[in-house]
Amino acid sequence: MIKNIFNERKILRKKYLKNQNEENINLRDDKEIIFNNKDQYQNYKIINILLLIIIILLIFFIILLVKRNANNIKKNRSNIANDNNTINEISNNGKNIIDEDEKIEFDKYEVEKYNEIKEKVLKCDISMMWDNQREFLNGVVRKYKPKKILEIGVRKGGSSIIILNAINDIQDAKLYSIDISKEPFIGECVEKDFPHFLPKWTLFKGNMANEYIEKIGNNIDMVFIDTAHFEPGEILDFIIVLPFLKEEAIVIFHDIANQLTRSKDRNEYAPYIIYNGIRGKKYLPSGSNILTKDIGAAKLDKNQSKYYHEYFRLLGGQWQYMPKEIHINQVREFLKKYYDNYCMTIFEEAVTFNKNFVKQNPKFIIYKENSD
């Protein structure tokens, strides 16, 4: 279009030059040309007006582009500033997610509540947890004040006592504890030394969590897991109870640093793998070291179902022990009720791989499941 306009103007200009010497043309200056032919003169005026309009539109368009680019640059700088603020928050004190609760030192939170039973607990179950770990467990319970708590892994009941003491003044709060062993010493510290806690406590023993969790029911506010430490151990325990946990439930794992703090041939990786694998805000005891802190809590993110496939993939390592065949079958039937075919495919592949591996490497198994 523009090319045509210029061509038309060029033609008119040639006509003007051709008629310069004719008497009927009066040339006043370069900007004003008067033609004998009025149509030619009108065309000339229209073409100049069109050119002026086009030039104005081009200038307007260029201004818009410059303004738009300036806004984009400003927006990008704002986003970069926000990202830098987020990175600074995330890197604060080496923690991965920052929220108000991370400012709390859980091992010092209402520690006086734990101190009420400290001496008695140490005499009963001194070897299972360090004192700062007991304080941390007490602090997490006191902070969130759960009504329905699940414990997997009981032994003599040292951790059971800490939880029961922490919920003793919380109305309608109750602890459900599960241990795979049938040994008579399971939970004996509670029964012998703290019988006044028994109304708030229900103990199941002799099988894995899948056999009791449906009786316990949904809407579990908090779960404390301290079981085999070897794979699949705590990974499988967490997968079993996950569908029964309340939205944003608190999950606490013990011995999450055993792979560093114990002798190398122990291979106790299960708590470390699942604690670092679950999606949620993580909390650790106070202190400068991070990797050697041996207990940790996590407030689960919402909509955990979208992470189910990820959690099942954590079963894909080499298991340090093989659950008994009866337990594998029970777990399989249980998981089918709550997880999709993709999850079950991963489970079956993990079981098959590790069964074959054990047949070829029988000495690799360093831990035997005990349910007797």
Sign of the CA dihedral 244, 249, 252, 257? positive
User: What's the Cα-to-Cα distance from 79 to each of 86, 98, 99, 158, 333, rounded to whole Å?
Assistant: 10, 19, 21, 50, 49
CA dist 220 and 64 (Å) reads 58
What is the pLDDT, as a whole number, of residue 116?
94
The DSSP code sequence of 62-110 is: HHHHHHHHHHHHHHHHHHHHHHHHHHHHHTGGG-SS--GGGGS-GGGTT
Q: Could you list the pLDDT tens digit for every one of the 372 residues in the chain?
A: 555 555 655 565 555 555 554 444 444 444 444 444 556 566 667 777 887 888 888 888 888 888 777 777 666 666 555 554 544 443 444 444 445 666 789 999 999 999 999 988 888 865 578 889 999 999 999 999 999 999 999 999 999 999 999 999 999 999 999 999 999 999 999 999 999 999 999 999 999 999 999 999 999 999 999 999 999 999 999 999 999 999 999 999 999 998 887 655 567 899 999 999 999 999 999 987 888 899 999 999 999 999 999 999 999 999 988 899 999 999 999 999 999 999 999 999 999 999 998 888 776 665 555 544
Amino acid present at 257: A
Q: Kindly report the length of the chain.
A: 372
